């Protein structure tokens, strides 16, 4: 039977698949619209499985919050082109809203969206539609309770949540911005694990012993350098990003506030990206390889 342009158009509108894929599906199902939709879904899942091993280190960090919780979700894709695609952004916004209702990334993937499909099923269909590996990689969730919770998203790639005891919403947002920029590892010196402190001391002692100074001087050198290092890696020890003359610790003291917790996630961190040598690639093609 012949497939009309109207049938192809309807199938494309209902599934979001490409025109040629829609026509092929209709031909293979004898023009049965519902069977063609099922066919596209099945082939879409197969494509999603094939793309799952490809590196997805681009994407977005998105935020949602209410009176009870605040969440950040990282959703990855392969290119910044897809990261800015309207379909990808809509999916990300639906997922982060759903994240307010669940406790873990595993529960989020199995949660149902407004369409009635799970996040995972919707992700697989989006892979088939956009042609890239897409992953709902991780989420962080922070209970509000009696705390003041601030958030900051930088360029869609870095997301921060900060919970304060005392202080104000403005202070919480300023500190979220500071954390996005300077990426402290810990809240304060008391939060630094003992093994991390010992490792830092070992490194500093090895450096100081090369100076040839007496042991008592070396110990003073280690103490001074350790304090400097702790100031670099702790939030309260860092100079405030909006006023370098005051540390975050002093700023908190001035406003009678305390940082209870913070979370920072950045798109693609920890993912090993493939390095492409474009010059070598061109040479290989030129040689017929």
- Domains in the chain, ordered, with CATH? 5-50 (1.10.8.10), 52-145 (3.30.479.20)
Of 31-35, 73-77, 166-170, which gets the smallest average pLDDT?
31-35
Q: What is the rounded distance in angstroms from the CA atom of residue 93 to the CA atom of residue 73?
A: 9
Q: What is the rounded distance in angstroms from the CA atom of residue 268 to the CA atom of residue 156?
A: 12
pTM greater than the 0.85 cutoff: no
Residue listed under structure tokens 């494309």: 12
Q: What is the pLDDT of residues 137-152, one digit of tens each?
A: 999 999 999 999 999 9
Q: What is the pLDDT of residues 218-233, one digit of tens each?
A: 788 888 888 899 999 9
Q: What is the b/e burial string over 232-254, where b = at least 16 CB atoms within 10 angstroms of the residue's CB? A: ebbbbbbbbeeeeeebbbebbee
Rounded mean pLDDT of 7-16? Answer: 78
Half-sphere exposure of 242 (CA within 13 A, CB side): 12
Structure tokens belonging to residue 202: 């070992």
Per DSSP, 193 falls in state -
């Amino acid at each position: 039977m012949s497939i009309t342009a109207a049938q192809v158009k309807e199938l494309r509108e209902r599934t979001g698949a490409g025109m040629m894929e829609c026509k092929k599906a209709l031909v293979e199902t004898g023009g049965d619209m519902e069977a063609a939709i099922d066919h596209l879904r099945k082939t879409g899942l197969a494509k999603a499985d094939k793309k799952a091993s490809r590196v997805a280190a681009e994407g977005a960090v998105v935020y949602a919050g209410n009176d009870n919780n605040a969440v950040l979700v990282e959703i990855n894709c392969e290119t910044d082109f897809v990261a800015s695609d309207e379909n990808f952004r809509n999916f990300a916004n639906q997922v982060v809203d759903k994240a307010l209702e669940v406790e873990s990334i595993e529960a989020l993937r199995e949660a149902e969206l407004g369409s009635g499909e799970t996040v995972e099923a919707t992700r697989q269909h989006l892979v088939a539609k956009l042609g890239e590996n897409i992953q709902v990689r991780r989420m962080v969730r922070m209970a509000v309770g009696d705390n003041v919770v601030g958030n900051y998203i930088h360029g869609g790639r870095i997301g921060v949540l900060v919970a304060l005891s005392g202080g104000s919403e403005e202070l919480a947002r300023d500190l979220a911005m500071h954390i996005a920029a300077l990426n402290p590892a810990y809240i304060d010196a008391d939060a630094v694990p003992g093994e991390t402190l010992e490792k830092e001391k070992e490194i500093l002692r090895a450096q100081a012993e090369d100076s040839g100074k007496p042991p008592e001087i070396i110990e003073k050198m280690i103490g001074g350098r350790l304090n400097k290092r702790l100031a670099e890696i702790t939030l309260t020890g860092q100079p405030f990003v909006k006023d370098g003359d005051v540390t975050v610790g002093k700023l908190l003291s001035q406003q009678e506030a305390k940082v209870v917790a913070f979370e920072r996630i950045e798109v693609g961190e920890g993912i090993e990206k493939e390095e492409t040598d474009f010059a070598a690639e061109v040479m290989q093609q030129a040689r017929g390889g």
